[in-house]
Amino acid sequence: MTPRAGEQGPALQTLLQHHPYRAPSGFASAQLPTYRASTVLFDSVQQMRARNWRDQSGYTYGLHGTPSSFSLERRLADIEGARHALLCPSGLAAITLVDIALLQQGDQVLIPCNAYAPGREFAQRTLVRWGIETLIYDPLSPESLRALLGPRSRLVWLEAPGSVSMEMPDLRTLVAVAREAGVRTAIDNTWSAGIALQPFDLGIDVSMQALTKYQSGGADVLMGAVLTRDPALHEALMDAHMRLGLGVGGDDVALVLRGLASLPLRYAAHDASARRVAQWLQARPEVAQVLHPALSCSPGHAWWARDFQGAAGLFSVAFQPDIEAARIDALVDALRCFGIGYSWGGPLSLAVPYDMAHTRVPPARAVADAGSLPACLLRLNIGLERSEDLIADLQQAMRVAL
């Protein structure tokens, strides 16, 4: 807002809102600029009326995208081999977006019995109020899925590996069973970070991830993403995304963009350290089984070896049957290098005991086909500490508690 000759300049309050200075173009740096916006400005009314929020060649409103969010979506799509991506405020928001976009009254959604509990509970407690039925299947038995599929089935959820209990399903067969019935598939691909598994190459229709984990890498961001190759599915997801008002802040987007630069290196470091700790635990007399898909003793290991190019830093431990839950709690309390807290994928190692009676729904399978499901599992997130220090910490905690 520059005054004309002879005119008095604007008051300070106005000048601060309409300052004429514009920084020169041509600045470049290693990191992308951070764009924060609710309002997006247009050059003219005509331009404003011509702009379509669905068209990502331009901008309409901060909720529908900024240069920062479009850049992150494009990079995530390239990592996972998708064509389209949408950002959500959390991993759970990404799961619920898929459900709301692809299901309607009278439909059925099929969810594995070892799925992420909040996503399953959204289906069982909220979708049911909208006339959408949830059926639970055993992911290690494709016949369990086949038997439940029917004319009202519209969506099959997959999770690889299962949440907490860490079984690896035969994804190719499950996808084939769903396709035979004409039912779409969606996968929670958070464990692989889109690096270890390319779900679209297996014929999966939709992938979601919690970017809270390895993509951000700092344990300080909540975000999720939904990805697809199918333009029609993307349109349905975009519609639901817009009408639900799902958006993410520019500063959080910047943190995830920064984390992506080191994602492959960090993922490999988590993987290598977790395998060392898992192998040490497997040799301990107190341990009945280590549930880590990269170990040959873990359920579904052969499917992991066939379909995955790596493993995350997350796995679970089943202790001998005579070790009760209170002693596992005491073990966790005695750890010094492990934090006690939910989530994973950050630099700090974490330990959380899980009461499996409240984590899984029937049918509760045997672990490794031997005995009943343990009453308690210990889930470990192996961070970026030196693995030898983590092993020494586990050893001293076992001496104290077990």
In CATH terms, the fold of domain 263-401 is: Aspartate Aminotransferase, domain 1 (3.90.1150)
Enter the pTM of the model.
0.91
Tokens 């009676």 identify what position?
Answer: 357
Look at residue 142 in the predicted model and tell me its pLDDT.
Answer: 97
Per-residue pLDDT tens over the stretch 35-79: 998 888 889 999 999 999 888 888 988 889 999 999 999 999 999
Look at residue 364 in the predicted model and tell me its pLDDT.
Answer: 40
Q: Where are the domains of the chain?
A: 45-53+62-260, 263-401
Q: Distances in Å between the alpha carbon of 272 and those of 281, 344, 388?
A: 15, 16, 12
- Asked whether the domain spanning 263-401 has the same topology as the one spanning 45-53+62-260, the reply is no
Query: Taking the CA of residue 49 as centre, how many other CA atoms within 13 Å lie in the half-sphere pointing to its CB?
Result: 3
β-sheet with 350-355: strand ranges across:
287-291, 314-319, 376-381, 350-355
Max Cα–Cα distance, the chain, nearest Å = 91
Cα–Cα distance measured from residue 398 to residue 277, given in angstroms and rounded to the nearest whole number: 14
Per-residue pLDDT tens over the stretch 324-381: 999 999 999 999 999 999 999 999 999 999 987 655 544 444 333 434 557 789 999 9
Cα–Cα distance measured from residue 256 to residue 221, given in angstroms and rounded to the nearest whole number: 8
Q: What is the CATH number of domain 45-53+62-260?
A: 3.40.640.10
Residues of the chain short of pLDDT 70, as ranges, are: 1-7, 357-373
